[in-house]
Amino acid sequence: MSKRTEKTIVDIAEELKLSVSTVSRALNDNPNISARTKDKVKKMARKLGYRPNALAAGLRNNKSKTIGLIVPRISMFFPATISTIIQNKLQEYGYNLIICQSNDSYDQEVALVNTLYSARVDGLVVSTTLYTTDFSHFDVFKDNNIPLIFFDRVPKDYNVKVIKGDDYVGGYTATTHLIERGCKDIVHISGPLTCNLYVERVSGYKHALQAHKLPFKKTRVFYQELTRDNAWQVCEKIFAQTPYPDGIFASNDTTAITIMEYCRKINVRVPEDLKIVGYSNDPRTEIVTPPVTSVDQYPAMMGERVVAALMELITNQASATAPRYSQEIIPIQLIARESTAGTVKTSGKKK
Amino acid sequence: MSKRTEKTIVDIAEELKLSVSTVSRALNDNPNISARTKDKVKKMARKLGYRPNALAAGLRNNKSKTIGLIVPRISMFFPATISTIIQNKLQEYGYNLIICQSNDSYDQEVALVNTLYSARVDGLVVSTTLYTTDFSHFDVFKDNNIPLIFFDRVPKDYNVKVIKGDDYVGGYTATTHLIERGCKDIVHISGPLTCNLYVERVSGYKHALQAHKLPFKKTRVFYQELTRDNAWQVCEKIFAQTPYPDGIFASNDTTAITIMEYCRKINVRVPEDLKIVGYSNDPRTEIVTPPVTSVDQYPAMMGERVVAALMELITNQASATAPRYSQEIIPIQLIARESTAGTVKTSGKKK
DNA sequence: TTGAATATTGCAAACGTTTGCATTACATTA
DNA sequence: TAATGTAATGCAAACGTTTGCAATATTCAA
């Protein structure tokens, strides 16, 4: 009852006593096929339940109408949002999206790049692993002139199209905000420095301190994967000794939120005793009490820019003149909420 | 410098003065190719930078080593978690995953099913739109005997493999929990009844009330898309008139959390004046104050079961004897938190 | 050394499209 | 009506694999 179902354009051709080329052209709305024939063909296609075989077309055309996307994990707010945008946008252009997660594992990333190449995706969009510092596994795409775009977590010293947030300004702005609210001893909890965007945020943090004549102390910066567990642990370290900091700039919202929980536990009041800023403007920052100040990265805008850039690369693929790389920076915006409300009194410390 | 790069097995064959068939077999570790030849071939493949063309192989084999996944949206906790699991699990089996979002639009779902069929995915995994009641667009998969699995939001009266949560028990348990904590007037906020799982939860809710001799009132059940906005609006309706309910069972956590926010605004205390239960055990339930009681659906287990069932279908595809459909039910577990703590006093109402 | 058995390798077709070029059908003009 | 131009269709090769079957090379026993 099943099996022998798959109809092809050959079946349509036979049924209609036409050549396969005519059928193919008719289905693709080629201009020099008569309207009458097109109509007949399409009718018959519907009648037979014909479904185009994208593999065959892809093989012949050397393009799959498919884009690959590699992100660390789709369960995180920022990549999830961007993936959604990219997918929906791409759908409008008639492209499929293969979403893959590297789980922040370099080896997995390498493997994914290879299978996506094998799948002959027409383009690859990547936000790298925290630990990717060697980018040679992307060479296949560069060498074969297949559109390749990095976003958010982007490579350093690897000529390629890049769309990233303004992480330096983000770090600077977040820190300045804390300073303006009276903080004098600001801890920064950063991701690992193998990932460029954290380097920039740290740099922004440092320069903001210096611009306001505050000392930059190495011991006040912590580098770690920004997970819930790590956040809790670093809190235990930070609050094991006095003086407590009066401000914390965390490089993601999970960390910021976890710090708040810890503070509640040890009776440090936010924002009275300690002010906190997170990063990404994850919706969770709004539902938590007090709501957390965070740095919005305009994920929707970034996603749209990624697709726009991708489409541009795809259409200009032929012209060898088109620039292969460039950097585009998406702005950030600080969203002030209750976790940084009020002003620290010069002295006031401890409940 | 670029372009003419793409090496094929033909290139390898020529280079080595072998036939393409030998090369193909060597690369696939076919047993009747000598170890020596295999070695030579693989070395040369590496040297030439050969990359298999999955499209060609797929065309020839009539299989793409790719699975399609359609979910309403990947930015929601439950589908996101399941997608992650499925993808990672599938990777182990050497399958790619094309994740697609229907955005809860029936038309988009239909379109996606068609393109995924065109892409000749080796299997399709679906959690349907809220509004999908006609499932005929999936017939192509059924008719061609391509593994097809539904999870969570599954069809009614459509013979197919189904893996779902125990929504009846979920509704029953959540409601019973509220009753046991002393609630007498329990509102239920449900999703639209076009989606089967809400029907079951409502049914569980109803039977729990009846089992405890509480009246089931139609006016105490609301049907709507469970978004933040809708939750806020329904609150305005509910709290526009007295008496206020003393318990609310919301069919997702976004709704539950939003209700809590509303309550704070109008000074209804949770859990003293009102107890709230959500659904899905979204991590947000834990970081909100007070933490929200919710119904865990074991997404990881469900994801794993989906992949297991899928692999089973794929390997047994040949045998016409294997059952094409079945239903598998994943258990739920109520996670009690502060939002339902304490016991309502028989009288106590209003601040 | 010969023959048979077995281990390797090669040939060629097939998967379902698309497309350059050649061919045929039709319409127009003189 | 013949010649010409244009519109519509057909032929056949190509995309890169895999695989049944045929062919050759190798091994082993007698």
Amino acid, single-letter form, for residue A138: F
CA B160 to chain centre: 16
Q: Which two tokens stand for residue B173?
A: 């348990």
Helix (H, G, I), strand (E, B) or coil at B284: helix
Q: Which residues touch strand D (CB under 7 A)?
A: A 17-22, 25, 32-37, 56, 59-60, 62; B 6, 8-10, 20-21, 24-25, 27-28, 50-53, 56-57, 59-61
- Interchain pair A52, B118: CB under 8 A: yes
Distances (CA, A) of A227 to A2, A234, B202, B287: 50, 11, 37, 14
For B59, the closest of A2, A55, A108 (CB atoms) is: A55
Strand C lies under 7 A from the Cβ of residue B62: yes
Q: Chain A partners of B287 at a C-beta cutoff of 8 Å?
A: 257, 261, 284, 287-288
Amino acid B36 CA to nucleotide C1 C1' distance, rounded Å: 29
Amino acid B56 CA to nucleotide C22 C1' distance, rounded Å: 29
State how beta strands B326-330 and B275-277 pair: unpaired
Taking alpha carbons only, the member of B261, B253, B286 closest to residue A258 is B286
For B117, the closest of A51, A66, A99 (CB atoms) is: A51
Contact A246, A185 (CB under 8 A): yes
User: Residue B320's pLDDT is what?
Assistant: 60
A3 touches chain B (CB under 8 A): yes
Q: How far apart are the first and last CA of chain A?
A: 77
Domains of chain B: 9-52 (1.10.260.40), 64-165+298-330 (3.40.50.2300), 167-297+335-340 (3.40.50.2300)
- Interchain pair B289, A289: CB under 8 A: yes
Q: Which two tokens stand for residue A3?
A: 């099996």
Whole-angstrom Cα distance, residue B274 to residue B259? 10
Quick one: which residue's CA is nearest to C15's C1'? B60
Q: Chain B partners of A144 at a C-beta cutoff of 8 Å?
A: 2-3, 5-6
Strand C lies under 7 A from the Cβ of residue A76: no
At A263, phi and psi to the nearest 5?
-60, -40
Whole-angstrom Cα distance, residue A89 to residue A301? 12
CA B220 to chain centre: 28
Strand C lies under 7 A from the Cβ of residue A9: yes
Contact B64, B119 (CB under 8 A): yes
For A84, the closest of B49, B55, B73 (CB atoms) is: B73
Q: Chain B partners of A83 at a C-beta cutoff of 8 Å?
A: 74, 99
User: Residue A90's pLDDT is what?
Assistant: 94
B322 touches chain A (CB under 8 A): no
pLDDT digits (tens, 9 = 90+) for B206-252: 999 999 999 999 999 999 999 999 999 999 999 999 899 999 999 99
Cis peptide before A147 (omega within 30 of 0): no
Whole-angstrom Cα distance, residue B260 to residue B256? 6
pLDDT one digit per residue (tens) for chain B, 351 residues: 334 468 999 999 999 999 999 999 999 999 989 999 999 999 999 999 999 999 999 999 999 999 999 999 998 999 999 999 999 999 999 999 998 999 999 999 999 999 999 999 999 999 999 999 999 999 999 988 899 999 999 998 899 999 999 999 999 999 999 999 999 999 999 999 999 999 999 999 999 999 999 999 999 999 999 999 999 999 999 999 989 999 999 999 999 999 999 999 999 999 999 999 999 999 999 999 999 999 999 999 999 999 999 999 998 876 666 667 889 999 999 999 999 998 866 544 443
Amino acid, single-letter form, for residue B114: N
pLDDT digits (tens, 9 = 90+) for B33-83: 999 999 999 999 999 999 999 999 999 999 999 999 999 999 899 999 999
For B145, the closest of A3, A80, A116 (CB atoms) is: A3
User: Residue B342's pLDDT is what?
Assistant: 86
Amino acid A25 CA to nucleotide C22 C1' distance, rounded Å: 17
- Cβ contacts of residue B219 below 8 Å, gap of 6+? none
Whole-angstrom Cα distance, residue A51 to residue B118? 6
User: Residue B318's pLDDT is what?
Assistant: 66
B333 burial via Cβ count (<10 Å: 0-12, 13-18, 19+): middle
A57 burial via Cβ count (<10 Å: 0-12, 13-18, 19+): middle
Contact B117, A28 (CB under 8 A): no
- Interchain pair A53, B74: CB under 8 A: no
Contact A282, A294 (CB under 8 A): yes
At B54, which helix (H) or strand (E)?
Answer: helix B54-61
User: Residue B253's pLDDT is what?
Assistant: 98
Contact B142, A4 (CB under 8 A): no
Taking alpha carbons only, the member of A219, A214, A246 closest to residue A234 is A219
CA distance to partner chain B, nearest, from residue A88 (Å) = 8
Distances (CA, A) of B270 to A96, B247, B263, B267, B275: 46, 10, 7, 9, 6
Torsion of Cα atoms, B268 then B269 then B275 then B279, to 10°: 80
B289 touches chain A (CB under 8 A): yes
Strand C lies under 7 A from the Cβ of residue A10: yes
Whole-angstrom Cα distance, residue A73 to residue A103? 6
Whole-angstrom Cα distance, residue B225 to residue B228? 9
- Interchain pair A289, B284: CB under 8 A: no
Whole-angstrom Cα distance, residue A224 to residue A233? 10
pLDDT one digit per residue (tens) for chain A, 351 residues: 334 468 999 999 999 999 999 999 999 999 989 999 999 999 999 999 999 999 999 999 999 999 999 999 998 999 999 999 999 999 999 999 998 999 999 999 999 999 999 999 999 999 999 999 999 999 999 988 899 999 999 998 899 999 999 999 999 999 999 999 999 999 999 999 999 999 999 999 999 999 999 999 999 999 999 999 999 999 999 999 989 999 999 999 999 999 999 999 999 999 999 999 999 999 999 999 999 999 999 999 999 999 999 999 998 876 666 667 889 999 999 999 999 998 866 544 443
The strand C neighbours among B residues 87-146, by Cβ under 7 Å, are: none
B48 touches chain A (CB under 8 A): no
- Can you state the angle between helices A9-16 and A35-48, rounded to 10 degrees? 120
- Can you state the angle between helices A54-61 and B54-61, rounded to 10 degrees? 140
Q: How far apart are the first and last CA of chain B?
A: 77
Whole-angstrom Cα distance, residue A304 to residue A326? 16
Q: Which two tokens stand for residue B110?
A: 């239909």
Query: Which residues on neighbouring strands pair with residue B295, listed in sequence order?
Result: B334
User: Residue A318's pLDDT is what?
Assistant: 65
- Interchain pair A140, B83: CB under 8 A: no
Whole-angstrom Cα distance, residue B138 to residue B127? 12
User: Residue B330's pLDDT is what?
Assistant: 98
Contact B327, B162 (CB under 8 A): yes
Taking alpha carbons only, the member of A323, A287, A280 closest to residue A302 is A280
Amino acid B21 CA to nucleotide C8 C1' distance, rounded Å: 12
At A258, phi and psi to the nearest 5?
-65, -40
Give Rg (Cα) of chain A: 26
Taking alpha carbons only, the member of B309, B334, B313 closest to residue B144 is B313
DSSP state of B289: S
